Amino acid sequence: MNAAEQRRAVSKLLVVRASGHAGDQQRRYPRWELSNEELQRHLENGVGGVILLGGTATELQQRCRTLRSWSGGENLLLCADVEEGVGQRFEGATWLVPPMALGRLQANDPAKAMLLAERYGRCTADQARRCGLNWVLAPVCDVNSNPDNPVINVRAWGQVPEAAGALAEAFQRGLQAGGVLGCAKHFPGHGDTAQDSHLELPVLRHSRERLEQIELRPFRRLIAAGVESVMTGHLVIPVLDQERPATLSPNVLNNLLRKSLDFQGLIVTDALVMEAITGLVGPGEAAVQAFEAGADLILMPADADEAIDALCSALASGRIPSQRLEQSLQRRRDALQRCIGDQNRTEGISTQDAVETINSVETNDEHRFALELVSATLEVQGPSPIQAAPNGGVTLIRVDGALASPFLRPEAPAIGWPARRGFRPIICHELGISPWHDPPQEDDPLALDRLGEGPVLLQLFLRGNPFRAGRDRDDPWPAAIRQLLRLNRLAALVVYGCPYRWESLRALLPGTIPAAYSPGQMTEAQQMLMGRLLGDEHTLELGNEFTD
């Protein structure tokens, strides 16, 4: 092929980031999301993939049509990080409880957990396909063996390899049945790190024997199950490569993943804009080293033009043999053929249903499934309902970060339902209202004069979140709970999200204090939990509509 043809072929291997919104001014992260002008130029020039974030599900449907039109009829890989259902990223679709919720359920009811995991995958696939996506960047195959993991945490399907692998495989079966591509991540395993690779380069100092026993087992299982792609992890594992992170390491991608584990599908990098990579090499060299190492697809290069230029130069100089390019292109063609063939199937989907989903991405059955997951994973202890606070009380709500939480709008059940019982809401986060004494006090950390009088309903929205580098662990909630108990002011404890925080805090409570936990943080989880805890007449039950 000539130079122009080669450049277009190289471009097919890039997956660039775009907003699900139509307008440039609506981009949530303009640093990473290309403008429409840039995006259209790249697609017209052959860029073969787009990862989307933001907007509603119906906006996403139109956005995917637009992207396909800009590509001139070329088959695109259109994907999203929808590990918790399409509604996690796109409003109007179904947002499901985090995968680890089923990992907890699996310990007590393995058969039920497996069935729910497969339905979880099918729900995700069906809605992704209706929205125009053909590739789901899930399941997470990391074994979250480190409770202090700030980036994987509840995204994992379990804390032990057997559960994580079995549930991830069930999820993948659901994706395959729904006709979209899956992606096992983050190879060779990001579950035992205490660092966030969005911010720094983690190092995992395990032996090869340990890797075989823990980290690699879910990946082996997913490869045997036919997962179409594997995403690399930005972490150094010295026993495999002393210097390079897995994403840039031939020992990890070619020798281990391709040869030892016999994976023949697509290898895709994790986002190359992450600081674990940008702190080492520039955009062009990162793309070349990843491709050299064995990656087929380059996800979110820091500069798409520079990545294409560098790859073309490496091919022209012989640094990368031309057959490597053709191998990756063939794997891409094979993957696209699989999902196109699946999308052309019509069993179980009538023409009328297909038309209706243009206006309504979520079906009634899928909404009921989301409620079923919330109900199956909800945990309540102690007496309930809790007593009202007619003379005034406070519900102290802790959320991650300063940005608006999509699950905690002014009408959210976590705010509105306790307010009807006399609990005035106070929402705190690290850059806003602080509930702590300044300077900190070890035994009595809460500055109760900022909260006012009366009982305190404590609600903690906490989970492992990328970009926060584990800062949530610094909050002295155990001491705060002991302080409230000593003063007889703790009305109840609620934890949404992280099971590790729930387990450590619930252990501090006497049997007389009500407490509840939901892995999910979305509106449906709040409704069901508040209904159980408050004995509210609007308690959400499966199969019933809710109006507040």
Indicate which CATH number applies to the domain containing 476: 3.40.50.10870
What number is the average pLDDT over the span 176-204?
88
Provide the number of structural domains found in the chain: 2
Q: How confident is the model at residue 353 (pLDDT cuts 50, 70, 90)?
A: very low
Residues 444 and 498 in one domain: yes
CA-to-CA distance for 299 and 302, rounded, in angstroms? Answer: 9
Which one of 320, 349, 378 terminates a domain?
Answer: 349
Tokens of 204: 């995992």
The phi, psi pair for 83, rounded to 5°, reads -65, -25
What number is the average pLDDT over the span 298-302?
96
Percent of the chain past pLDDT 70, that is, above it, reads 90
Residues 23 and 69 in one domain: yes
Q: Is residue 547 assigned to a domain? A: no
Residues 310 and 433 in one domain: no
Residues 127 and 254 in one domain: yes
Q: What is the CA radius of gyration of the chain?
A: 24
Q: Which CATH number fits the domain that encloses residue 118?
A: 3.20.20.300
Lowest-confidence region among 49-58, 146-155, 393-402, 403-412: 403-412
Residues 413 and 291 in one domain: no
Question: What residue numbers bound the domain in which 482 lies?
Answer: 367-534
Q: Is residue 515 assigned to a domain? A: yes
Contact 86, 51 (CB under 8 A): no
Residues 149 and 212 in one domain: yes
Residues 373 and 442 in one domain: yes
Contact 84, 97 (CB under 8 A): yes
Q: Is residue 188 assigned to a domain? A: yes
Residues 327 and 434 in one domain: no
Collapsing DSSP to helix, strand or coil, 51 comes out as strand
**Whole-model pTM over 0.85:** yes
Residues 383 and 341 in one domain: no
Q: How confident is the model at residue 408 (pLDDT cuts 50, 70, 90)?
A: confident
The torsion of the CA quartet 450, 441, 467, 236, rounded to 10 degrees, works out to -170
What is the CB neighbour count within 10 angstroms for residue 466? 15
Q: H or E stretch including 43?
A: helix 36-44
Lowest-confidence region among 98-112, 132-146, 166-180, 328-342: 328-342
Q: Is residue 545 assigned to a domain? A: no
Q: H or E stretch including 391?
A: none
Which one of 298, 318, 349 terminates a domain?
Answer: 349
CA-to-CA distance for 197 and 199, rounded, in angstroms? Answer: 5
Which one of 288, 321, 349 terminates a domain?
Answer: 349
In 51-91, alpha helices (H): 57-70
Q: Is residue 31 assigned to a domain? A: yes
Tokens of 121: 């995958």
What number is the average pLDDT over the span 434-448?
89
Lowest-confidence region among 129-143, 187-201, 206-220, 226-240: 187-201
Q: Is residue 280 assigned to a domain? A: yes
Contact 156, 143 (CB under 8 A): yes
The per-residue pLDDT for 278 is: 86
What number is the average pLDDT over the span 232-257?
96
Collapsing DSSP to helix, strand or coil, 491 comes out as strand
Collapsing DSSP to helix, strand or coil, 460 comes out as strand
Asked if pLDDT for residue 309 goes beyond 70, the answer is: yes
The per-residue pLDDT for 197 is: 66
Whole-number average pLDDT of the chain: 90
Cβ neighbors of 252 (< 8 A, separation 6 or more) are 187, 188, 232, 237, 240, 241, 244, 246, 293
Q: How confident is the model at residue 365 (pLDDT cuts 50, 70, 90)?
A: very high
Contact 144, 160 (CB under 8 A): no
> Which residue numbers are catalytic?
198, 270
Residues 377 and 505 in one domain: yes
Q: Is residue 330 assigned to a domain? A: yes
**CA triplet 277, 279, 281: central angle to 5 degrees?**
70
Q: How confident is the model at residue 410 (pLDDT cuts 50, 70, 90)?
A: confident
Q: Is residue 539 assigned to a domain? A: no
Residues 387 and 315 in one domain: no
**CA triplet 211, 213, 217: central angle to 5 degrees?**
85
Cβ neighbors of 24 (< 8 A, separation 6 or more) are 30, 35, 36
CA-to-CA distance for 183 and 435, rounded, in angstroms? Answer: 41
Residues 152 and 62 in one domain: yes
Percent of the chain past pLDDT 90, that is, above it, reads 77
Contact 95, 87 (CB under 8 A): yes
